[in-house]
Amino acid sequence: MMQLLTIFKGKTWRRAPGKVNMKKLMMAAAAALVLCGCAQKDDNTLRMITEATFPPYEFLRGQEIVGIDVEICRAVAQKLGQGFKCETVDFDSVIPAVVSGKADVAAAGITVTEDRKKNVDFSIPYVTTGIVVIYKVAEPYTGVESLKGRRIGVQAGTTSETFVLEQVGQEPERSRSPAESVAALKAGRVDFVIADIDPAKNCVKNEPGLALSDFVSSESYAIAIRKGRPELLQVINETIAEIKADGRLAAWVEQYTAEADRLKD
């Protein structure tokens, strides 16, 4: 909790592909249109797209999508005087949904990268964080060299995947979520897992055989929108500044971190 409060005082999508393949991007966009179920545009509703397996930023409370990112985007909708709707899809469909115009804002612990800036506009950052290595205590992580030639689990389409491709120089073992990768680690199907610190901490809670490394890479989370919407971007930036200044952001961090911690109890 103290770490989260510290970093909020202070960065590429948390989950970043390498270079953008526009054909794949548009195919994913088409898939996102079907998945998000928002074919009818409502100009008086701010439509958020996310991937709700990333506590404390977004996760499911029963059938309801909740979390820090949801509260930030709801505050944007209130500032605009609009209604609010949030949908969840696979992470690699989140950005295509805003590129296609089927969602207004994308927030899913999205790390700001230069490659992504070619396709979407980003708000000012609302958190600085990083990715870590999850490893078995019996087989500790000792540095990047200890990863080479080993099976490394990551969530597909994330900055963890990019780290393995670019810094380790090999293909990772891709999954749909950090929790799925950690299950593979415990079952012996992978040797290490790389993930963002917050889901990583949640995954190793009550797991004495697992441990976390220090940050292997730092990154900033921001809200993504389709290019060419400067008025919306201004309102988002103003909202982020306001919720930092008046304490709402810190309160949401505390609330949803505590709730996310209870998920593993």
Q: Does the domain made of 2-126+222-262 have the CATH classification 3.40.190.10?
A: yes
Q: Three-state SS across the chain?
A: CHHHHHHHHCCCCCCCCCCCCHHHHHHHHHHHHHHHCCCCCCCCEEEEEECCCECCCEEEECCEEECHHHHHHHHHHHHHCCEEEEEECCHHHHHHHHHCCCCCEECCCCECCHHHHCCEEECCCCEEEEEEEEEECCECCCCHHHHCCCCEEEECCCHHHHHHHHHHCCCCEEECCHHHHHHHHHHCCCCEEEEEHHHHHHHHCCCCCEEECCCCEEEEECCEEECCCHHHHHHHHHHHHHHHHCCHHHHHHHHHHHHHHHCCC
Domain locations along the chain? 2-126+222-262, 130-218
**Does 2-126+222-262 match 130-218 in CATH topology?**
yes
Q: Which architecture characterizes domain 130-218 according to CATH? A: 3-Layer(aba) Sandwich (3.40)
* pLDDT, one tens digit for every residue, the chain (265 residues): 333 433 332 233 344 434 444 444 444 444 433 333 333 455 799 999 999 988 899 999 999 999 999 999 999 999 999 999 999 999 989 999 999 999 999 999 999 989 899 999 999 999 988 999 999 999 999 999 999 999 999 999 888 999 999 999 999 999 989 999 999 999 999 999 999 998 898 899 889 999 999 999 988 999 999 999 999 999 999 999 999 999 999 999 999 988 987 876 5
Q: Whole-model pTM? A: 0.70
